[in-house]
Amino acid sequence: MGYPLPRMLDLARMDRIQLSAAPRAQRFVACVLLMPNYNLLPGIRIDFEGPLPVIYAMNHTDRFNYWPFQYRMWRKHARFTATWVKGKNYEHPLTARFMELTNNIPIVSRGYLITRDFISMVGRRPSDAEYSALRRAVDPGASNGNGAALRGVVPAEVLDRARDLFGYRFDPEREPYPRAMDGVFREMMRRFVDLNQHALDLGLDLLVFPQGTRSIRLSRGHGGLGQIALHLKRPIVPVGCNGNDRLYPGKAPFARRGRVVYRFGEPIAHQDLAAFHPPEPFVPFTSEAEEAHGERFQGVVDLVMERVNDLLDERHRWSDDREGEGTRGTARFV
């Protein structure tokens, strides 16, 4: 059964995103939805335990575990955030507009681009074998950038049909698929980095969920946080979110009774990460940077996630294998 083709996140939408130092839409949600919900329903508590600096790295337990955080930040500290969200949240026009108005920054992954493009060409998600082959071809350090290894593994139209690739013109006679996909990713992430810098210039705090997927128990983080932190040279503040999944157990944006506690760890300054500093300047989210410094980027994230784990109640801490219960495979991207 095929998938309906949504309006995908593309380069044009990335260029349209405008952040605000005091986003009216965030205040509207807080006043119209969150304030009545939190104040009129007895038994909801939002507690902060710790300081308030610049790049927050938080575990991701549920769909809405940033809402009480943003609400308390606004009510008690007059602070606003720009939050990293998945590219798939920009596929429905109404959801995309809400995301834009509430100061969210879409972060795309190579997996998202591969999966969404494959669906648009073939009408279904790629199989595990197809996806693995495509990821190997476009990942940093790929030994065969001309896509020859993909022949006979993925449908020919993915490799040979000229098309608009998320706003990037793909002509297979000019360049192979892996190189075009790398070009799209570079352009999107260039704008992503610019938006993060702009957010900080506006005086916003960044809010990042390094896990990249929701899970009651903490799972491993991805290296994107390390790239941004080392590039922007701003402190990272680990935040442990405890109990919000009980306020928001499903898809409904209305909190139930309960208590959520956000514990803040000590800020990790740029100089504290000296062991992970690349020896030369780098361009974040490029294949060259990830191939040369990937272990350093991941080392930053691993350190941060250990600090987050220390801030969590037992039910949210690492499982034995450090894997979460979140969605796996290409279903993560649609």
pLDDT of residue 43: 85
CATH code for residues 11-107+193-325: 3.40.1130
Query: How many Å apart are CA 13 and CA 167, to the nearest integer?
Result: 9
CA–CA distances in Å: residue 215 to residues 105, 194, 229, 274, 318: 21, 29, 24, 31, 10
pLDDT of residue 120: 94
Please answer whether residues 255 and 68 qualify as being in contact, where contact means their C-beta atoms are separated by less than 8 angstroms: yes
Mean pLDDT score, 7-14: 83
By residue count, the chain amounts to 334
Q: Which two three-digit tokens encode residue 41?
A: 């329903």
Q: Which two three-digit tokens encode residue 202?
A: 């506006």
pLDDT of residue 6: 55
Model confidence, pTM: 0.90
Q: pLDDT exceeding 90 applies to what percent of the chain?
A: 73
Nearest alpha carbon to residue 305 among 48, 129, 130, 57: 57
pLDDT of residue 13: 86
Structure-token match 């409904």, residue found: 252
pLDDT digits (tens, 9 = 90+) for 178-195: 999 999 999 999 999 999
Question: Quick check: 83 pLDDT over 90?
Answer: yes
Mean pLDDT score, 124-149: 86
Please answer whether residues 2 and 333 qualify as being in contact, where contact means their C-beta atoms are separated by less than 8 angstroms: no
Query: How many Å apart are CA 287 and CA 168, to the nearest integer?
Result: 18
pLDDT of residue 144: 57
pLDDT of residue 227: 97
Query: How many Å apart are CA 126 and CA 277, to the nearest integer?
Result: 37
Mean pLDDT score, 81-106: 91
Mean pLDDT score, 214-239: 95
Question: Quick check: 1 pLDDT over 50?
Answer: no
Question: Quick check: 332 pLDDT over 90?
Answer: no
Mean pLDDT score, 22-39: 89
Q: Which amino acid is present at 168?
A: Y
pLDDT of residue 187: 95
Determine which of 141-145, 169-173, 242-246 has the lowest per-residue pLDDT on average.
141-145
CA–CA distances in Å: residue 284 to residues 146, 185, 258: 23, 11, 40
Query: How many Å apart are CA 37 and CA 305, to the nearest integer?
Result: 31
